[in-house]
Structure 1
Amino acid sequence: MTDNSFYVTEDLLATKNMRFVNHLIDLIPQYVVMYALSYSFFYYGEFTGDYALNNYWAEMSKIEDYLYSYTLLFIYYFMMESLTDRTLGKYVTKTMVVMVNGEKPTNQAIVKRSLSRMIPFDALSFLGTNGKGWHDSIANTYVVDVAKFEARKRSQSELNQIGITQDI
């Protein structure tokens, strides 16, 4: 049974500093994968004598670079947020993604969030006045402080239990 009276309020939202740290930490796995691919292609060429893959990777066009980078970005955010409601950065800052009613985000919302991150300057859009990034607004999701969120959910649930009779 879901409680439709719960809504995410401004006091539950992650701070701008938390969001900025999330962004910085979430860049790390993306860079690690890209560098790992680069080194893998180089060492593959060294061991096999076939440098075609390494040369392609080193000489790819800007469009191809964006295509690979954004594909990796989409996969990272979609996989992490659809499976755990969090990314590595959100684990560190103890924040998570929720819908306006406090429920787990739908896969559709996560796809919107992940695709919206490809908008130029989206990564810093949460620095605006309301603390929500464009990817939050487009997907109608919120990044909340887990401790505050869980405390509010628990107190809301306890309040809802008042007056309910139990069958004995």
Structure 2
Amino acid sequence: MNNPDFRITEDLLASKNSRFVNHLIDLAPQYAISYGLAYLFFYIGEFTGYYGLNDFLNGLSTFEDLLYTYSLMIAYFFLMESLTSKTLGKYVTKTMVVLPNGQKPSHLDILKRSFCRMIPFDGLSFLGTNGKGWHDSISGTFVVDTAKFEARKTSYSELDQIGVLQE
């Protein structure tokens, strides 16, 4: 879709409830990755006798643990949203990330969005009237209801075809 007049409007935005469910569902893979790595490092030690990776994880300071946790979070959101414009939570709630013109965000947009999730109290930023979080506003992205978005996009595409001669 290349219609320059297309804009994301408030009626296309995902509901606050969908955003909350996204958050809850997206916690599961983050915990699974974190615990999965911990178990993997432990079992590597069991089979090889080398517990260095396991000891490293268990010996992290509070600051290092936060850095490790946030790194996993950023990697999860960056990989999922840059490849598919969705996370597991967004697949379940049928929502997706787009730019104001309806295009797919660039890797840089997604990277900004992922890093902005580290802002303290970002989760509380959804309490505003439009349910748009700081990581949305700062990165210039929107989370939209996929069905409504696709319907609007199709309408704009069909409008572009009016008056075009078919061969």
TM (normalized to structure 2)?
0.93
Q: Distance in 2 between matches of 1:165 and 1:68?
A: 55
Counterpart mapping for 1:18-167 below 5 A = 18-162=18-162, 164-166=163-165
Q: Distance in 2 between matches of 1:71 and 1:90?
A: 21
TM (normalized to structure 1)?
0.93
Tell me how many residue pairs correspond in the alignment: 167
Residue 129 of structure 1 aligns to a residue whose secondary structure is coil
Structure 2 stretches of 5 or more lacking a match? none
* Partner residue, 1:14: 14
Q: Distance in 2 between matches of 1:48 and 1:107?
A: 39
* Deviation for aligned residue 1:84: 0.5
Residue 132 of structure 2 aligns to a residue whose secondary structure is coil
Structure 1 stretches of 5 or more lacking a match? none
Q: Distance in 1 between matches of 2:26 and 2:124?
A: 13
* Deviation for aligned residue 1:40: 1.6
Percent of aligned positions that are identical: 65
Q: Distance in 2 between matches of 1:134 and 1:45?
A: 42
Residue 53 of structure 2 aligns to a residue whose secondary structure is helix
Q: Distance in 1 between matches of 2:48 and 2:155?
A: 62
Superposed CA RMSD in Å reads 1.5
Q: Structure 1 stretch 140-149 or stretch 73-82: which is displaced more?
A: 73-82
